[in-house]
């Protein structure tokens, strides 16, 4: 658990969240949901290389990647993190986020061009702030490929607005 954060209390723990919008007061520790998926493409990798300036050979050169022990070029780790955050943001379960405060992230296995990934998100902890209209949650996130392998995981602190859930069918 992130230092200074206590386990969430209130609403029944461990729910699988339904589609809808959730504020800080509407989630509890162990509540979870999964995002839709996205396939990592050549365009993602080349575009991210151009945007970030990370043209390292393992991302751009198949022969180099194979000689390094990979089946082919691998996607940038930070591209995987960016895609995970994008999947979270556009998910049908929408957290009333204000700002991401931090990331603690691990790269567990190579993210390959052609992999289809989705994200499993669990509320790990929450704490109130000085302002009653917001709070901070710790999100546990696992990026899972089409074979069920966790390729990346970690935690993120999200500053959220308070509010009542608006659940849709």
Say what the pLDDT of residue 163 is: 73
Answer yes or no: is 15 within a domain.
no
In which domain, by residue range, is 145 found? 20-167
Answer yes or no: is 115 within a domain.
yes
Dihedral sign computed on CA atoms, order 85, 89, 90, 93:
positive
Mutual orientation of helices 77-89 and 42-52 as an angle, nearest 10°? 110
> Would you say 23 and 164 are in contact if contact means Cβ atoms under 8 Å apart?
yes
pTM of the prediction? 0.87
Q: Give the total number of structural domains in the chain.
A: 1
- Cα separation, 30 vs 34, in Å, equals 13
Longest CA span, the chain? 55
- Cα separation, 48 vs 135, in Å, equals 32
Scan for tokens 């390959």, then name that residue.
Answer: 112
- What is the full per-residue pLDDT of the chain (169 aa) written as tens digits? 334 444 444 434 589 999 999 999 999 999 999 999 999 999 999 999 999 999 999 999 999 999 999 999 999 999 999 999 999 999 999 999 999 999 999 999 999 999 999 999 999 999 999 999 999 999 999 999 999 999 999 999 999 999 755 555 5
- Per DSSP, helices labelled H in the chain are 42-52, 57-60, 62-67, 77-89
Residues 6 or more apart whose Cβ sits within 8 Å of residue 56: none
Domain containing residue 155: CATH number? 3.10.129.10
Answer yes or no: is 13 within a domain.
no
């Amino acid at each position: 658990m992130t230092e200074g954060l206590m386990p969430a209390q209130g609403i029944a723990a461990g729910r699988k969240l339904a589609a809808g919008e959730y504020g800080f007061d509407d989630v509890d520790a162990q509540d979870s949901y999964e995002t839709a998926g996205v396939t990592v493409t050549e365009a993602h990798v080349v575009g991210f290389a151009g945007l970030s300036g990370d043209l390292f050979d393992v991302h751009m050169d198949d022969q180099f990647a194979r000689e390094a022990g990979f089946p082919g070029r691998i996607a940038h780790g930070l591209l995987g993190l960016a895609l995970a955050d994008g999947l979270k943001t556009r998910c049908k379960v929408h957290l009333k986020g204000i700002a991401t405060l931090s990331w603690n992230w691990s790269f567990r296995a190579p993210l390959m061009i052609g992999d289809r990934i989705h994200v499993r998100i669990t509320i790990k902890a929450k704490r109130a702030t000085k302002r009653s209209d917001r709070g901070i949650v710790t999100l546990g996130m696992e990026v899972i490929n089409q074979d069920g392998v966790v390729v990346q995981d970690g935690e993120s602190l999200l500053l959220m607005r308070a509010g009542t859930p608006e659940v849709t069918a």
